[in-house]
Amino acid sequence: MTIVIDNAASWRDIAQVSEGESLALAATAWERIAYANQIVAAIVEKGIRAYGVNTGVGALASKVVAPALQKRLSRNIILSHACGVGDLVPARGVRAIIAAQVANFAHGHSGVSPRIVRNLLAFLERDCIPDVPSRGSAGYLTHNAHVALVLIGEGNASVAGRSMSGREALLEIGLEPLVLGAKEGLSLVNGTACATGLSSIALLRAKRLLEWADAVAALTLEAAGAQVAAFGEQTLAMRPSPGIQAVGRSLRGWLNGSGLIAAASGSRTQDALSLRAVPHVHGAAREVWDRSAQLVDRELASVTDNPAVSGSLRDPLVVSEAHAVAPALGQAADGLTIALAQVAGMSERRIDRLVNPLVSNLPAFLANEDGCNSGFMIAQYTAASLSNVNRRLAAPAATDGGVTSGLQEDFLAHPTVAANKLLAVIDNAEYILAIELMAAAQAHDFLAERGARAPGTDAIYRMVRDCIAHYSDDRPLSWDVEALRNFIRTVDVSQRPQALSSP
């Protein structure tokens, strides 16, 4: 399938491109790109003073650059701004960044030549992935600069998984190094494509994670003999919340027809909060996700290049603004990070309730022979450790600020840092949910005589057992954790049979 962008892309478009779909632009988008490029040429011809076109950048904005040096300025911006460090961004992340950058150029206010956009699209089409270090961006600049390096035949890249120099990569896919014109260097490093692209991937992964969080919690609730009256539609309606209602419907659907739940009815006055408050925590996260998705879509609908060009060839306009600064995007990523850290933290607490012999009414640590076998004792340690890391990562990036470029850029919103933290928390949350899923399935192995599972949870249990066997201290437990984590990452649990839908 080919994703076609006209006026604005959505986060789903960017996420789909990150996973391998092709990207194309509508004819009207190409017209806007070409016209904006002509406006930049008019600005140069008329000698209109414009930031990054015929001046330096950052604190050097007052330094005029002669016409003969404007192409050199564009190239030098790429080389000097390519100063990222650390591990490389995964291929899907680089694809998302490129897709978001193309979407920004498609608005027609950047002024780059159509050839630049065609070459970026060729990177996506021909699996050319520039080497982009993951750290060093305060919001934009460094990630985009490393992508741009390959456009001019510098840097490094992989083509179809093979590493090579940027020049070799261009040759491999049939392109020549570009000689950049006025403003093009600045436009290639500018905008919020990095944070927007990474946030789009995070939204896709978070959506799947939240669906799995309900399913995994349902399997645990059933094993724990939860009192599901707390999840009744009228009961939950006492607290008006679309998220709570959605999770309530999800849990009722998964647990509908459970013999284990029926057998446990009335056995306790109320459950522990890690069981009873699942709709509240998961529901809050769903609402934060909804708001975050709206903000990322708004970012993709925005021009985030500075300066922005507009007007006509007779009367070209160039305006310096602050659209490359994205506090809302950083706040959205920070908010979703907090919400998912809380979802994962509650999952870790449910793991403890499954393995802890003081509260589980199950074999200690779900071991076949306690004493000789440790069972899931240390798996809960791992979940607790990951939850601890998530709590630290949940500290907001958007409030950190900072001063750069000789006081010219004296406020930083850190949306890229926030997006990277969000992705790291999702990584940890996937592992924690995998451990809970593993422990819940093991718990059900000891409950066969107490009652039947619901059709929904039985489907989940059987999928788990198709993936990993019952655990008897007979193999490294990390193998099972990795297997179930990959299972959660790749299986869309929301696509369950209609018969399993909530009543």
**CA-CA-CA-CA torsion for 470, 476, 477, 482, nearest 10 degrees?**
-110
Q: State yes or no: pLDDT of 66 exceeds 90.
A: no
Lowest mean pLDDT, pick from 54-68, 91-105, 201-215: 54-68
Q: How confident is the model at residue 501 (pLDDT cuts 50, 70, 90)?
A: very low
- Return the amino acid letter for 231: F
Q: Which residues contact 328 (CB under 8 A, 6 or more apart)?
A: 295, 298, 299
What's the domain range around 291? 199-302+311-500
Q: How confident is the model at residue 503 (pLDDT cuts 50, 70, 90)?
A: very low
Q: Residue 86: left (phi > 0), alpha (psi -120 to 50), or beta?
A: left
Does 259 lie in the same domain as 142?
Answer: no
What pLDDT sits at residue 59?
Answer: 61
Does 228 lie in the same domain as 178?
Answer: no
Query: Shortest CA distance to 137 belongs to which of 63, 79, 84, 216?
Result: 84
What pLDDT sits at residue 496?
Answer: 58
* Secondary structure of 190-219 in HEC code, one letter for each residue: CCCHHHHHHHHHHHHHHHHHHHHHHHHHHH
Report residue 335: phi and psi, to 5°: -65, -45
What pLDDT sits at residue 57?
Answer: 74
Which residues are 309's β-sheet partners? 318
CATH of residue 428: 1.20.200.10
Which residues are 311's β-sheet partners? 316
pLDDT digits (tens, 9 = 90+) for 213-224: 999 999 999 999
Query: Shortest CA distance to 368 belongs to which of 472, 283, 463, 295?
Result: 472
Residue that terminates a domain, selected from 150, 165, 191: 191
What pLDDT sits at residue 409?
Answer: 67
Q: How confident is the model at residue 58 (pLDDT cuts 50, 70, 90)?
A: low
What is the distance between the alpha carbons of residues 204 and 194, in angstroms, rounded to a whole number? 16
CATH of residue 48: 1.10.275.10
What pLDDT sits at residue 7?
Answer: 87
Comparing 402 with 252, the larger pLDDT belongs to 252
Mean pLDDT, residues 392-406: 80
Per DSSP, the residues of 119-168 read HHHHHHHTTEEE--EEE--SSSSHHHHHHHHHHTT-SEEEETTEEEEHHH
Mean pLDDT, residues 442-454: 94
pLDDT digits (tens, 9 = 90+) for 99-138: 999 999 999 999 999 999 999 999 999 999 999 999 888 7
Does 288 lie in the same domain as 177?
Answer: no
Q: State yes or no: pLDDT of 488 exceeds 90.
A: yes
Does 120 lie in the same domain as 226?
Answer: no
Crossing angle of helices 415-445/477-490, nearest 10°?
120
Mean pLDDT, residues 276-296: 98
Comparing 154 with 1, the larger pLDDT belongs to 154
Does 345 lie in the same domain as 235?
Answer: yes
Does 172 lie in the same domain as 238?
Answer: no
Q: Residue 56: left (phi > 0), alpha (psi -120 to 50), or beta?
A: beta
The CA-based angle 65-69-73, given to 5 degrees, is 80
Q: What is the CA radius of gyration of the chain?
A: 26
* Secondary structure of 309-334 in HEC code, one letter for each residue: EEECCCCEEEECCCCCCCHHHHHHHH
Does 130 lie in the same domain as 46?
Answer: yes
Does 180 lie in the same domain as 328?
Answer: no
Burial (CB count <10 Å: 0-12, 13-18, 19+), residue 450? middle
Question: What SS3 class is residue 304?
Answer: coil
Q: State yes or no: pLDDT of 353 exceeds 70.
A: yes
Q: How confident is the model at residue 411 (pLDDT cuts 50, 70, 90)?
A: low
Lowest mean pLDDT, pick from 245-249, 295-299, 304-308, 342-346: 304-308
pLDDT digits (tens, 9 = 90+) for 203-242: 999 999 999 999 999 999 999 999 999 999 999 999 999 9
CB 451 within 8 A of CB 223: no
Does 210 lie in the same domain as 182?
Answer: no
Comparing 362 with 54, the larger pLDDT belongs to 362
pLDDT digits (tens, 9 = 90+) for 311-340: 999 999 999 888 888 899 999 999 999 999
Q: Which residues contact 159 (CB under 8 A, 6 or more apart)?
A: 126, 127, 128, 129, 169, 172, 173
Per DSSP, the residues of 45-104 read HHT---TTTSB-SGGGTTSB--GGGHHHHHHHHHHHH---EEEEPPHHHHHHHHHHHHHH
- Residue matched to tokens 């990795």: 482
Question: What SS3 class is residue 359?
Answer: coil
Residue that terminates a domain, selected from 145, 166, 191: 191
Give the DSSP H or E segment for 436: helix 415-445
Does 333 lie in the same domain as 261?
Answer: yes
Comparing 399 with 280, the larger pLDDT belongs to 280
Peptide bond between residue 327 and the one before it cis (omega within 30 degrees of 0): no
Does 207 lie in the same domain as 290?
Answer: yes
What pLDDT sits at residue 334?
Answer: 96
Question: What SS3 class is residue 302?
Answer: coil
Share of the chain above pLDDT 90, in %: 81
What is the distance between the alpha carbons of residues 215 and 495, in angstroms, rounded to a whole number? 12
Per DSSP, the residues of 449-500 read TT-PPPHHHHHHHHHHHHHSPPP-S-S-HHHHHHHHHHHHHH--TT---GGG
- Residue matched to tokens 């107490």: 450
Q: How many domains is the chain built from?
A: 2
Q: State yes or no: pLDDT of 362 exceeds 60.
A: yes
The CA-based angle 369-433-251, given to 5 degrees, is 105
Q: Which residues contact 376 (CB under 8 A, 6 or more apart)?
A: 351, 354, 355, 365, 366, 367, 435, 438, 439, 442, 471, 477
Crossing angle of helices 91-105/11-18, nearest 10°?
140
316-319 and 22-25 strand pairing: unpaired
pLDDT digits (tens, 9 = 90+) for 270-285: 999 999 999 999 999 9
Six token digits for residue 23: 């990207």
Q: How confident is the model at residue 61 (pLDDT cuts 50, 70, 90)?
A: low
Mean pLDDT, residues 355-369: 91
What pLDDT sits at residue 498?
Answer: 39
Report residue 450: phi and psi, to 5°: -85, -20
Does 178 lie in the same domain as 103?
Answer: yes
Per DSSP, the residues of 392-421 read HHTS-STT----BTTTTB-----HHHHHHH
Average pLDDT value for the chain: 92
Residue that terminates a domain, selected from 174, 191, 208: 191
What is the distance between the alpha carbons of residues 90 and 70, in angstroms, rounded to a whole number? 33
What is the distance between the alpha carbons of residues 129 and 185, in angstroms, rounded to a whole number? 19
Comparing 414 with 462, the larger pLDDT belongs to 462
What pLDDT sits at residue 372?
Answer: 86
